[in-house]
Structure 1
Amino acid sequence: MGKGRGSRRAETHDKELGDAVARAQQGDEAAFSAAYRLVHPPLLGYLRGLVGDDAEDVASDAWLEIARDVGRFRGDGAGFRAWTASIARHRAIDHLRRIKSRPRGTLLESDLAELPAPQDTAAEAFETVSTRQALALIAKLPRRQAEAVLLQTVIGLDGPAAARVLGKRPGAVRSATHRGLKQLEKYLSSLASGGVTDSDSPSLGDAR
């Protein structure tokens, strides 16, 4: 899979993030704030794909745990992204269990037309439409596929790191990502022709 915009941006900031985390572990509050600013936007996007409009609340719970346990983290900037994504995912699962309902997917804000045929599908989704719209498309995928795509495209994790977060074998995550991107390509094509609606595909709550 080619690297999407989120992945390229995350990798660019990994050294800065790693340095900030190391200082935060020594009690530097400004450094923790710097790490938060680097990690929070993609983390919130990931959570929007999981729990829809409840993402802010779940992110707040996740950051409380991250702040409490940051001293126990061991790793570099990329590892910190994976660690925070794992914490956020657990908080999202807890949230969904509490409400016992499917997450509310984000609604598309406008009609899309004349989308080019995607080559790197995930990157194309984020570069052609708004982040909000791209997340809404990914949220239509079966849950396992959506999470694999979100972790690699929004959080910027590589395949093995995404597999560790999901507790799956790398081969299974590669397969889920491949199937998800194929379906995402279909959604983009359907949107270009005005042929898909919110009811045409499963929500992220469907286990596949």
Structure 2
Amino acid sequence: MLGEVFASVLAAARAGSPWAFERLYADLAGQVTGYLRMQGAVEPDDLASEVFIGVFSGLPRFEGDEAGFRSWVFTIAHRRLLDERRRLAKTPHLTSDDVLESMPGDDVESDVLAGLEEGWVRQVCAELPSDQRAVVLLRVLGDLSTEQVAEIMGKSTGAVKQLQRRAITSLRVRLTSQSVPPASGSEITGAR
């Protein structure tokens, strides 16, 4: 989060300053890409690029604070994801399971362990109904409020709370009934 400098970075981006675009992108790109990846986007990096093209072209129309900006960015990401799903439903395509992702790095062991952990998280999230998965990912990866998620998804705040409650219950059951792969140096526990 940019905090106190958000307003000045936003103003500089609106004025066309490349460093400001980079700063806004760096602040949210990882979370947006993670959201798209966990939602099953076929090419999450490409889709995230499309999201930020939309964000940067729409900057003159955006009004609000940093929380509103995050919500606006994830609204664009959510809509781009829905557009991709509609487009792919009309044409044959490869699923994300069909696409081999390479994980280049200097430490092969770390790369393999990270891949196993990411694969397990993807599997667990994939087992949630799509609405529940979207709520959890927007709340956790997007760091958005319940009200913001409700607006993005076109649902009431109560419906979003219920979806979140069901998702967390389902995840808790899953975590306690199966062995959880070890997290890098940390222990995964139940609900907070």
What amino acid maps onto 1:38 in structure 2?
A: D
- Aligned CA RMSD, in angstroms, stands at 2.6
Aligned to 1:171: 158
Aligned to 1:32: 21
1:174/1:32 CA distance change after superposition, 3 Å:
same
Aligned to 1:46: 35
Q: Hey, what's the Cα distance between the residues in 2 that align with 1:49 and 1:35?
A: 22
Aligned to 2:136: 149
CA deviations on 1:60-107 (whole Å, 9 max, x unpaired) are 21111111111111111111111010111111111111111796469x
Q: Does 1:183 align with 2:170?
A: yes
The TM-score with structure 1 as length reference comes to 0.69
**Would the aligned equivalents of 1:50 and 1:103 in 2 still touch at CA under 8 Å?**
no
**Would the aligned equivalents of 2:136 and 2:167 in 1 still touch at CA under 8 Å?**
yes
The TM-score with structure 2 as length reference comes to 0.74
Offset of residue 136 of structure 1: 3.8
Could you list the runs of 5+ residues in structure 2 that have no partner in the other structure? 99-115, 182-192
What amino acid maps onto 2:164 in structure 1?
A: T
Q: Given the alignment, which residue of 46, 58, 67 partners 1:78?
A: 67
**Would the aligned equivalents of 1:96 and 1:103 in 2 still touch at CA under 8 Å?**
no
Choose between structure 1 and 2 for higher RCO, CA contacts under 8 A separated by at least 6 residues: 1
Could you list the runs of 5+ residues in structure 1 that have no partner in the other structure? 1-9, 107-128, 195-208
Q: Secondary structure at the match of 1:34?
A: helix
1:104/1:67 CA distance change after superposition, 3 Å:
same
**Would the aligned equivalents of 1:14 and 1:76 in 2 still touch at CA under 8 Å?**
no
1:84/1:187 CA distance change after superposition, 3 Å:
same
Tell me how many residue pairs correspond in the alignment. 162
Offset of residue 162 of structure 1: 1.0
Aligned to 1:158: 145
Offset of residue 135 of structure 1: 4.2
CA deviations on 1:177-199 (whole Å, 9 max, x unpaired) are 000111111222233179xxxxx
Rg comparison, structure with higher value: 2
Offset of residue 44 of structure 1: 0.6
Q: Hey, what's the Cα distance between the residues in 2 that align with 1:14 and 1:173?
A: 27
What amino acid maps onto 1:134 in structure 2?
A: V
Q: Does 1:93 align with 2:82?
A: yes
Offset of residue 147 of structure 1: 0.7
What amino acid maps onto 1:164 in structure 2?
A: E
Aligned to 2:108: none
